[in-house]
């Protein structure tokens, strides 16, 4: 039986992150001419971990994996909930080994760890958890077969899931949308116009700050890229407690704030 979530889905007390390796400069990105620096990514990651701890989370930092340049983005190879975890199968071939590297860490924290099959590809960046529905976006990294398999795994956790097709310009579903409150989504204009979030309130990010849609609600705080002043102003006027964070270097890797942690609340 599907159940209603008794807590807000952005209430967390635990997090898993992974330190970036020096190989992070070789991570996947749309424009290979834009080169991040290891030092810059490391600084932004440290600020991010500090913000999670300041928000009240116990954070376990996993060691860097030099063999997997994108492994700092731990949200793509796994999903976590109070009920358990799901090991995913990233859609980029160069990231397939990351799931295996997450298995032991998840087993330390969860009694139940489910896994997708070998040809069921899904990235956590395509999964947006809201109070009532888990949205799974089909993308270049998440196949229809992978989305359908993931929907079944979520059903086993008592979660209702809906498979959607975001605008084709999105690398990941959450590139263009983030959960702000129980009933409010922050989204780019194309995502807002897609009809995916019918019934929910939508705040559109200002033109030119589209990447700010990949924000992160953590307990009573909203993490936002500090380089998006108009979005920060918009959210502050809505009454949210904003935590501006540096994202210039991780943005060069086509990533955002939701990518760098797995977050959950321990079951009582």
Q: What string of pLDDT tens digits covers the 268 residues of the chain?
A: 344 556 899 999 999 999 999 999 999 998 888 999 999 999 999 999 999 999 999 999 999 999 999 999 999 999 999 999 999 999 999 999 999 999 999 999 999 999 999 899 999 999 999 999 999 999 999 999 999 999 999 999 999 999 999 998 888 999 999 999 999 999 999 999 999 999 999 999 999 999 999 999 999 999 999 999 999 999 999 999 999 999 999 999 999 999 999 999 998 7
Q: How many CB atoms lie within 10 A of CB 238?
A: 14
Query: Is residue 149, in this structure, part of any structural domain at all?
Result: yes
Which structure tokens are listed for 164? 């959607």
- Structural domain harbouring 23: 14-168+249-264
Residue 132 falls inside a structural domain:
yes
Residues annotated as catalytic (active site), given as ranges: 172, 259
253: CATH:
3.75.10.10
| Residue 69 within any structural domain of the chain | yes
Residue 183 domain flag: no
Q: How many domains does the structure of the chain reveal?
A: 1
């Amino acid at each position: 039986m599907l159940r209603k979530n008794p807590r807000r889905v952005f209430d967390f007390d635990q997090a898993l992150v992974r330190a970036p390796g020096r190989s992070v400069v070789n991570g996947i990105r749309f424009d290979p001419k834009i080169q991040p620096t290891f030092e810059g990514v490391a600084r932004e990651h440290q600020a991010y971990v500090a913000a999670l701890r300041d928000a009240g989370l116990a954070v376990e930092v996993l060691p860097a994996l030099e063999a997997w340049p994108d492994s700092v983005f731990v949200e793509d190879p796994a999903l976590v909930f109070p009920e358990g975890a799901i090991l995913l199968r990233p859609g980029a071939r160069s990231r397939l080994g990351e799931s295996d590297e997450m298995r032991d860490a998840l087993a330390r924290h969860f009694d139940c760890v489910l896994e997708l099959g070998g040809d069921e590809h899904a990235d956590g960046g395509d999964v947006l958890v809201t109070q009532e529905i888990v949205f799974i976006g089909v993308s270049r990294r998440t196949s229809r077969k992978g989305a359908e398999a993931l929907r079944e795994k979520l059903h086993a956790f008592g979660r209702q899931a809906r498979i959607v097709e975001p605008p084709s310009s999105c690398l990941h579903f959450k590139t263009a949308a983030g959960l702000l409150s129980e009933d409010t989504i922050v989204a780019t204009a194309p995502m807002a116009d897609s009809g995916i979030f019918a019934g929910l309130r939508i705040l559109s990010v200002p033109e030119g700050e589209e990447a700010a849609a990949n924000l992160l609600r953590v307990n009573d705080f909203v993490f936002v890229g500090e380089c998006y002043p108009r979005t920060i102003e918009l959210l502050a006027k809505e009454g949210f407690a904003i935590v501006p964070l540096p994202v210039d270097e991780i943005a060069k890797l086509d990533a955002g704030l939701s990518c760098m942690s797995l977050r959950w609340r321990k079951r009582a």
